[in-house]
Structure 1
């Protein structure tokens, strides 16, 4: 049973800022705010961020929007973010992805184009798994970036303990769980999730592109447990996550979702009295920000 006064917190990590909103049980936004985050550009086409900077901004903005809310009435929190690649060492500390060597710069941003050559190599394989990402893999997806790290920063590659998509890094910081979301793994990592409910890494693909070592190591490095977006992660907010965010330990945390996909759900699922009998499969949403994405409704 949910009380009359109940609220949920949504956090959106965009390209240049972290936004948060408090929403009530009727979908009404009660508070919202944003905090800027830093971007480095060490070389043309290279764009990097800091996971510590982003988490600090997240904590700041969540505290802002929940300042006047009774924390006992908050029933859940969820995260969406850009599909940027986060690198951590075996102790979960930031690990450089930058030519600068700075561990603070441990995120290759979604819009980074350093992995152009690696994407061409991957697409030349014409592997069957590519059909799940539109037939060709964008250099903005994670396998090309992982391959670039392996080839270009061998010290980072040797020291790496965990690679996260940024949305999943956010749930990790909140819960301490390395569980990943099917949304980011399938869309950006070439993870296979079929309609029969089976899901797995494609060993032949990873071997063909030279990343088989990620499967031979502890799979927690790239994800050995995956949940559908919105499914509860771990035991909810950890003691550390709750302290950082100014919330109560144990509040449910939903498995993350890509930012454009979150927008797609919000737009495609919105009630429209003029189209109330129209199927979601007939709808198209354009999600605009630093980039623009077309999201089409789909029903299995």
Structure 2
């Protein structure tokens, strides 16, 4: 007698904390998003360039969306959970209670958001040190990274916050702590935003040089001295309290987390491309670039060895795919030149401006790719996800202008798939992140470049490079004394 009993489907939960909302998805072992929910979270702007959130508010939203997506599913089929989040800074005291990151003393506002620019003078002083750890962030640290924010807290909220602080978490790591009670950090966050170096971990001389020697004294307990690769399982899985909050079974695997853009990259870059006639088939994953097209675009390229690319972040070890180095290029969609605008306001003119803007973004992508290739990357295929990947003109222009085929993800919500892949890896159902990526990252449409206008775009690209050069010259004139 043959049994008709089918093996029950295995599910993984991906939880993504964006800037303005929290989303969760229930994803099966084939990378299909079975259920999806989202909920807004609050942002406070007490003064210009200061952006704050509440870790309690964020966790409550995580619980609410997770309960929605797992509703009605047999708990025994849910195998693991993964988190990704913006790289915001969460501050708690020694008892893990929130500490105010503001002068008003509002302790529930204990998160300095990634986009907060309060630490401008601090980052200028840090960059002036020219310390060797800066070579791993493209030579110059961004005001959106964590050391300048920590220095700002020490200099501005010494008694109320700095001296009382027990732990400083990157938001993705705060979430895995909340779920497991374990203060381990992800290599992704500490390497990309905190200056943790793959060859030596924390560099005492850097923290002393910038005036944060107090972090060295306690053996880095406040910022993390237990670091895991993304997708590794954290502690003993979900604690009873967290399980109750999230509506998930106690003890299921919780993965070391990722920054949100990196989760998007993870969700698309490893997909199985057999039979799609792509140059990256039978080539190592290092021949691919993932492009996450949201408010701004992130270009994620990976390599076997560390490659230092001028003006591009990284190389970051194991920051997206364990064992490989990551370079992260980026462009603000609004920050690119578009030249030759007239005062005409007609519809045709508007269409031209729209096309010119999209072309400018695609030319910018080509510039980033060529800079990466000059530094040693070998890239032949683009993998796109995010909101703008739904725009056919945006996608076709990227294929035509870079001359490379563009692969679109079957699931537009690649960031959530990436978070679920982490949970799948932590559960032990897959042998590695790479295996989970190949099974769960699914290919939708493939857009080939149309070479008909290649000469035209090559000329446009030459003009684009001249414009970039001129823009730099104008900027240095305006910045000179």
User: What TM-score range do you get, normalising by the shorter chain?
Assistant: over 0.9
Equivalent pair of 2:8/2:77 in contact (CA under 8 Å): no
Q: Structure 2 matches for 1:1-300, cutoff 5 A?
A: 4-154=8-158, 155-194=160-199, 199-217=200-218, 219-272=220-273, 273-275=276-278, 276-300=281-305
Alpha-carbon distance between aligned partners in 2 of 1:105 and 1:288, rounded to the nearest angstrom:
29
Q: Give 1:261 deviation, angstroms.
A: 0.7
Alpha-carbon distance between aligned partners in 2 of 1:62 and 1:274, rounded to the nearest angstrom:
38
Alpha-carbon distance between aligned partners in 1 of 2:163 and 2:98, rounded to the nearest angstrom:
14
TM-score normalised by length of structure 1: 0.95
Alpha-carbon distance between aligned partners in 1 of 2:132 and 2:43, rounded to the nearest angstrom:
35
Alpha-carbon distance between aligned partners in 1 of 2:296 and 2:210, rounded to the nearest angstrom:
28
Q: Give 1:248 deviation, angstroms.
A: 1.0
Alpha-carbon distance between aligned partners in 2 of 1:229 and 1:159, rounded to the nearest angstrom:
30
Alpha-carbon distance between aligned partners in 2 of 1:173 and 1:218, rounded to the nearest angstrom:
22
Which blocks of at least 5 consecutive residues in structure 1 are unaligned?
none
Q: Which residue number in structure 1 is paired with residue 436 of structure 2?
A: none
Whose radius of gyration is greater, 1 or 2? 2
Q: Give 1:267 deviation, angstroms.
A: 2.0
Which blocks of at least 5 consecutive residues in structure 2 are unaligned?
1-6, 306-481
- Closer, same or farther in 2 for the Cα pair 1:149/1:77, shift >3 Å? same
3-state SS, counterpart of residue 131 of structure 1:
helix
Deviations 1:130-151 (A, max 9, x none): 1111111000000000000000
Deviations 1:58-105 (A, max 9, x none): 000000000021111111000000000000011101101013220011
Structure 1 stretches of at least 4 aligned residues deviating more than 6 Å after TM superposition? none
3-state SS, counterpart of residue 221 of structure 1:
coil
3-state SS, counterpart of residue 30 of structure 1:
strand
- Closer, same or farther in 2 for the Cα pair 1:218/1:90, shift >3 Å? farther
Equivalent pair of 1:180/1:225 in contact (CA under 8 Å): yes
Q: Give 1:24 deviation, angstroms.
A: 0.8
Alpha-carbon distance between aligned partners in 1 of 2:206 and 2:128, rounded to the nearest angstrom:
12
Deviates more, 1:29-38 or 1:275-284: 275-284
TM-score normalised by length of structure 2: 0.60
3-state SS, counterpart of residue 254 of structure 2:
coil
Alpha-carbon distance between aligned partners in 2 of 1:18 and 1:289, rounded to the nearest angstrom:
15
- Closer, same or farther in 2 for the Cα pair 1:290/1:88, shift >3 Å? farther
